[in-house]
């Protein structure tokens, strides 16, 4: 059970924004394990993290993440309407914006083309925009710079 609690703590500390070195130091101190054990947890996390978090399919991960973002949005909305301090309200609005943006990004990644058949002989296909639809995402159009002249 120490392994499971150590790995859960690793994920929690990482989620709080601690660096790998800080996580290593804290886990070795709290669980009395060797540094190599924690490094090994980082190296093989792809094999244990989905099982530990209960996410074995990508669709489950999408739903779980959307649910978390929705809960964050609701809590921030409640704070926005219950607090009178303008700085707290601003922070709540910022949190709501970030949660909403995250939900939109997740929805855009998980979207598939939607096909709709019309009632007449012709079939109508509606395609939603996909991130891969842009031919050369890395090549951007460079506009020429205006020449600047130095004043004497």
Per residue, the 3-state secondary structure of 113-132, as one string, reads: CEECCCCCCCCCEECCCCHH
Is 7 within 8 Å of 48 (Cβ atoms)? yes
At 115, phi and psi to the nearest 5?
-105, 130
Q: Which residue(s) pair with 126 in the sheet?
A: 114
Which value, to the nearest 10 degrees, does the dihedral of the CA atoms of residues 26, 29, 33, 35 take? 50
Q: Position of tokens 């929690």?
A: 12
Is 89 within 8 Å of 81 (Cβ atoms)? no
In the chain, what is the straight-line distance between the N-terminal and C-terminal CA atoms, in Å? 76
Q: How far apart are CA 52 and CA 152, in angstroms?
A: 69
Provide the residue-wise pLDDT of the chain in tens; the chain has 152 residues: 589 999 989 988 888 788 999 999 999 999 999 999 999 999 998 888 888 877 667 677 777 788 888 888 999 999 999 999 999 999 999 999 999 988 888 777 655 544 444 555 555 555 555 656 555 545 445 555 555 556 66
| pTM for this prediction | 0.47
Distances (CA, A) of 81 to 72, 93, 100: 14, 10, 17
């Amino acid at each position: 059970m120490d392994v499971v609690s150590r790995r859960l703590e690793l994920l929690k500390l990482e989620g709080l924004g601690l660096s790998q070195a800080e996580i290593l130091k804290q886990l070795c101190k709290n669980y009395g394990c060797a540094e190599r054990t924690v490094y090994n947890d980082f190296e093989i996390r792809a094999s244990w993290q989905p099982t530990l978090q209960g996410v074995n399919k990508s669709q489950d991960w999408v739903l779980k993440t959307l649910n978390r973002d929705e809960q964050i949005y609701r809590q921030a909305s409640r704070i926005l309407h219950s607090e009178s301090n303008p700085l707290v309200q601003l922070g709540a609005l910022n949190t709501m914006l970030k949660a909403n943006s995250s939900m939109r990004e997740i929805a855009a990644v998980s979207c598939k083309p939607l096909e709709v058949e019309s009632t007449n002989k012709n079939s109508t296909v509606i395609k939603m925009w996909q991130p891969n639809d842009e031919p050369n995402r890395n090549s951007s159009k460079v506009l020429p710079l205006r020449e600047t002249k130095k004043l004497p």
